[in-house]
Chain A
Amino acid sequence: MLFGYAGTILCVDAGSGKIDKQPLPPSLAERFIGGRGFVAKLLWDRLPPDTDALAPENVWLAATGPLTGHLLPASGKTHFGAKSPATGGYADSNMGGHFGPALKYAGYDVLMITGRADAPSILVIDNQSVALRPADAWWGTGALTCETALKKELGEDFQILTIGPAGEKQVRFACMSHDFGRQAGRTGLGAVLGSKNIKAIAVRGSGGLTAFDLEGVYQAGRQAFDKVKAKPGFAGWTPEGTAGITNWVNEVGVFPTRNFKTSYADFYKNINGQAILEHLKITDKGCYCCPTPCGKYGKAKTVLGTVFVEGPEYESIALLGGNCLLSKIEEVAYANWVCDELGLDTISAGAVASWAIECFEKGLLSQEQIGRDVAFGDLAAVAHLLEIMAARKGIGDLLAEGVMRAARQIGGGSEDFAIHVKGLEWTGYECRNAPGMMLAYMTADIGAHHNRAWVLGHDMAGSAANVHDLVSAGGSGDKIGKATIKDKEKPVIELQHIRPLFDCLGICRLQYMELGFEGDNYADLFQLITGRSLTWQNLLAVSERVWQLTRTFSVREIADFGRQYDYPPARFSNEPVPSGPNEGHCLSRDELDALLDAYYAARGWDKNGIPTAAALERVGLEDISRELAACR
């Protein structure tokens, strides 16, 4: 018996309607733990090489981990994956809420969808009953609207995942939405679901989970809640959630503004966590079993209307507020709601909107093309851009391709300020004086995403402290910046193993990263649940294995993949920060290469960033090494 796992992979062929329940291979659990590890290995095994990301053959996955659904702090994570419509390489995105636990209680560790339904469909999983239903009535509706309707139709005890019109239109940064404000936002997985004609997935689970030591994990789980409640961040970090970092990133000057041209907003106190509490918040909203709910659900009144919306989270504040210069929290919240309803990733959509505004300012896009004047700080303009990109209307059809592809089409130097890596738009930290964080963005496996290795504490405060302690100290730390670019690969690699490990376990990382809830706790809980005696270091070794595999997946899928895919846009090398705390700084191409050289060497990759056979064999991926050689 595989303790801690439901034991089944649910395979749905949307084209034929065939439902296949496959036993979870013990070797998969042993080698890759769960969640992100399952996504990486199942993609490698089941995706036909060179498949187009929006073709029926792409494999869409939702995976839980062994800790998902247990009485542990924040055990509500679900990890999604597919070949990325944004990058063409490895893609995943995770989400809190209650969907993953419901899937596991229904009896499934993994849901895998292939094929394309003949007509718009909803997948309904009611424990062992699994069926595709017509979705014609909901096709074209907003993601939140659709969830509201399905909750009413199916009942409160169903957990619902939806896509919006952007997913239906296969916008390359379309997200998936759940629980009126949780999103698996990144890498365009909503477009993959849309390409399969799946509008929504509803899950009800009323079965139980297993544990190797039920009494032990029950008591340890209760103690884990007590330990988290005793952390200083429990009272200090929770009230504002991720938005609480807005002050600090402005104090140290890494807050993206004007499409990453500048890195400080003089109005940041109008859009910070305190502004959410004063002007928006109705309730804290927590994911499954989360003692520190970062979700702030509220109501925003603007000239464009009044909306109920969860958030904005920090990343939405950065990309919609900072980068588009929306200077009131109500405006940021409204733009956030537009994205949620349309099914757009707030990060990529904010980056695309700000890129389009800069193109307009530079005369590369016209009023006639866009359909109106647009400007930084204009909510109506930002909302217009979001709407046309979600509908693929006019120039919105190009914007829906993301900044990398759009810039290639528009030209005129716009590629220099298309802020992405590998085709995935950049998240909320400007890095021209933060070489460690720059390296983290360059080498993140899904493209320019922060959550794999958030090393800003090292760059900006000389500190590896948890985020609550770091932010509590304010911007007064020992800023290193680019005084040296040596040894930056060390904290990056360390964190690239730690943070994604939580995505394998199926549990939120924030209690560890933000509050300092110690890693050994997770190893103990893993042992009680699965019966496997792995130390924290043993678990990190599995995470390293997954990291090598995701890079290798992109090598397999992208013909000329290598170093050229790891560079940031030219803006970060050619345009020193014009003002603010990091004025005058940028990172030259030579400095970027030095960062990559050190990183590749530490990873055991060749000079082009390709994992060597020795590197793969060192982490137990001999089979992957052989299969890659056969593919190439």
Chain B
Amino acid sequence: MHLTAEHAKCSGCRACLLVCALENFREINPARAALAIAGHFPSPGTFSIRVCDQCGACAEVCPVEAIYLKDDVYLIDAQECTGCLTCVDVCPNEVLFPPINGDDCPVKCTSCGACVSICPRDALHLEGD
């Protein structure tokens, strides 16, 4: 399963970011989110959404093989991760985020679908491979 986005539907409210942090970390902190919204203002006046499409580029470069595939979703084994951030550098969608607030492990999408269900604009979708 992986996320897809319809940019034109996005209103930039960022509820998806906050629910992502809550669902995956039980934190009220959108800086923990594994997706991103960018506003392009004043011109052209649009939003774009960056989501993980589970392409696996992160797993390919992980030097300690801490990123593994489970049910078509790439997940990070926090016990194995050394925090080298090689995966962050190669992510083509720029949605693997460096650790914050003292953590060691990067933040990566788990395809949990919380963002899909909260989005009031129906701009996010979870699709099967």
CB of B79 closer than 8 Å to a CB of A? no
User: Is A545 positioned at the interface, with any CB of B under 8 Å from its CB?
Assistant: no
User: In the complex the two chains form, is B45's CB within 8 Å of A298's CB?
Assistant: yes
User: Would you call B100 an interface residue if the criterion is a C-beta within 8 Å of the partner chain's C-beta atoms?
Assistant: yes
Of the 9-residue stretches B21-29, B55-63, B81-89, which lies at the interface with chain A?
B21-29
Q: Which residues of A contact B1 (CB under 8 A)?
A: none
Q: A253 contacts the other chain (Cβ, under 8 Å)?
A: no
> Do A291 and B120 contact each other (CB < 8 Å), given the known contacts A70-B28, A214-B26?
yes
In the complex, whether A285 has a CB less than 8 A from a CB of chain B is: yes
Cα of A156 to Cα of B101 in the assembled complex, Å: 19
Instruction: State whether the Cβ of A215 lies closer than 8 Å to any Cβ in chain B.
Output: yes
Tell me if A71 and B28 are in contact (CB < 8 A): yes
A156-B38, A225-B15, A291-B13 known; A283 vs B31 contact (CB < 8 Å): no
Query: In the assembly, what is the distance between CA of A228 and CA of B13, in Å?
Result: 15
Inter-chain contact B13/A286, CB cutoff 8 Å: yes
Let me know if B12 and A285 touch, CB within 8 A: yes
* A residues near B117, Cβ cutoff 8 Å: 222
Interface string of A131-162 (1 = CB under 8 A from B): 00000000000001000100000001100000
Which residues from chain A contact B27 at a C-beta distance below 8 Å?
208
Shortest CB-to-CB span from A191 to chain B, Å, is 24
Q: Which of A141-200 contact B (CB under 8 A)?
A: 144, 148, 156-157, 179-181
Interface centre among B18, B22, B26, B28 (most CB of A within 10 A): B28
Q: Is the CB of B118 within 8 A of A208?
A: no
CB < 8 Å neighbour of B28 from A148, A157, A214: A214
Given the complex of chains A and B, what is the CA–CA distance between A295 and B44 in angstroms?
16
Within residues 1 to 37 of chain B, which ones have a CB less than 8 A from any CB in chain A? Answer: 8, 10-15, 18-19, 21-22, 26-32
Q: Mark B40-55, 1 if CB is under 8 A from A, else 0.
A: 0111111100000000
Chain A, range 273-306, C-beta contacts under 8 Å to B: 282-293, 295, 297-299
How far apart sit A206 and B21, CA to CA, in the bound complex (Å)? 12
Contact indicator A156/B28 (Cβ below 8 Å):
no
Q: Which residues of B contact A105 (CB under 8 A)?
A: 29-31
**Interface: B39 (CB within 8 A):** yes
Measured between C-beta atoms, what is the minimum distance from A338 to chain B in Å?
Answer: 14
**Also in contact, A308 and B18, with CB within 8 A (given A206-B100, A222-B118, A285-B11):** no
CA distance A613 to B100 in the complex (A): 52
Most chain A C-beta atoms within 10 Å of own C-beta, residue among B22, B29, B44: B22
Beta-carbon contact of B18 and A144 below 8 Å:
no
Residue of B nearest to A4 (CB): B28
> A222 touching B11 by the CB < 8 A rule?
no
A287 touches B13 (CB 8 A): yes
Which among B8, B18, B19, B101 is the interface contact of A283 at CB below 8 angstroms? B8
The answer to whether A144 touches B12 (Cβ under 8 A) is no
User: B14 and A207: CB pair below 8 A?
Assistant: no
Nearest Cβ on chain A to B4's Cβ, whole angstroms: 19
- CB-CB under 8 A from A210, the residues of chain B are 28
CB-CB under 8 A from B41, the residues of chain A are 148, 179-181, 297, 308
How far, in whole Å, are A215 and B23 apart by their CA atoms in the complex?
10
Q: What is the CA–CA distance of A70 and B121 in the complex, to the nearest angstrom?
A: 19
A291 interface neighbour in B15, B19, B46, Cβ under 8 Å: B15
Contacts of A298 in B (CB 8 A): 45
A window 61-83: CB within 8 A of B:
69-71
How near does chain A come to B54, taking the closest CB pair, in angstroms? 24
* A335 is an interface residue with CB less than 8 A from chain B: no
Residue of B nearest to A337 (CB): B42
Check B28–A286 contact: CB distance below 8 A. no
A290 to B18: give the CA distance in the assembly, Å.
12
Chain B, residue nearest A291 (CB):
B120
Q: How large is the interface on B (under 10, 10 to 19, 20 to 34, 35 or more residues)?
A: 20 to 34
CB-defined contacts of A285 to chain B, threshold 8 Å: 11-12
List, in ascending order, chain A residues with CB within 8 A of B44's CB: 282, 308
- Inter-chain CA distance A234–B8, complex, in Å, is 19
Chain A residues, Cβ within 8 Å of B19? 71, 222
Contact B14 A288 (CB under 8 A): yes
CB nearest to A228 among chain B residues: B120
Contacts of B101 in A (CB 8 A): 206-208
Q: Quick one: CB contact mask for A294-334 with B, threshold 8 Å, 1 for yes?
A: 01011100000000100000000000000000000000000
B14 touches A308 (CB 8 A): no
Report whether A282 and B46 are in contact in the complex, using a CB–CB cutoff of 8 Å.
yes
- Give the distance in Å from the alpha carbon of A148 to the alpha carbon of B42 in the complex: 7
- Quick one: CB contact mask for A218-240 with B, threshold 8 Å, 1 for yes? 10001001001100001000000
Nearest B residue to A102 by beta-carbon distance?
A: B30
Tell me whether A308 and B42 are in contact (CB under 8 A). yes
Q: Which of B10, B21, B43, B120 has the most CB of A within 10 A?
A: B120
Residue pair B18, A71 in contact (C-beta under 8 Å): yes
For A207, what are the chain B residues with a Cβ–Cβ distance below 8 Å? Answer: 29, 31, 101
Q: Does A209 lie within 8 Å of B28, measured CB to CB?
A: yes
A157 to B38, CA, bound (A): 9
Residue in A209, A284, A298 with the greatest tally of chain B CB atoms within 10 Å? A284
Task: Tell me if A488 counts as interface (CB < 8 A to partner B).
Answer: no
* Chain B, range 92-129, C-beta contacts under 8 Å to A: 100-101, 117-118, 120-121
Known: A206-B29, A209-B29, A225-B118. A289 touches B42 (CB 8 A): no
A289:B14 contact, CB within 8 angstroms? yes
Q: A222-B19, A289-B14 are in contact. Are A69 and B42 (CB under 8 A)?
A: no
Do B26 and A288 touch (CB < 8 A)? no
Q: Which residues of B contact A148 (CB under 8 A)?
A: 41-42
A308 and B43 contacting across the interface, CB-CB below 8 Å: yes
Q: Name 15 A/B residue pairs within 8 A (Cβ), A-sorted.
A: A105-B30, A105-B31, A180-B41, A181-B41, A207-B29, A208-B28, A208-B32, A283-B45, A283-B46, A286-B13, A288-B14, A290-B120, A291-B15, A293-B11, A308-B43
Known: A71-B19, A209-B29, A293-B13. 10 other contacts (CB 8 A): A71-B15, A157-B31, A180-B39, A180-B42, A207-B101, A208-B28, A222-B117, A222-B118, A229-B120, A308-B43
Sort A-B residue pairs by CB-CB distance and give the 5 closest, nearest first.
Answer: A291-B120, A208-B29, A286-B11, A206-B31, A286-B13
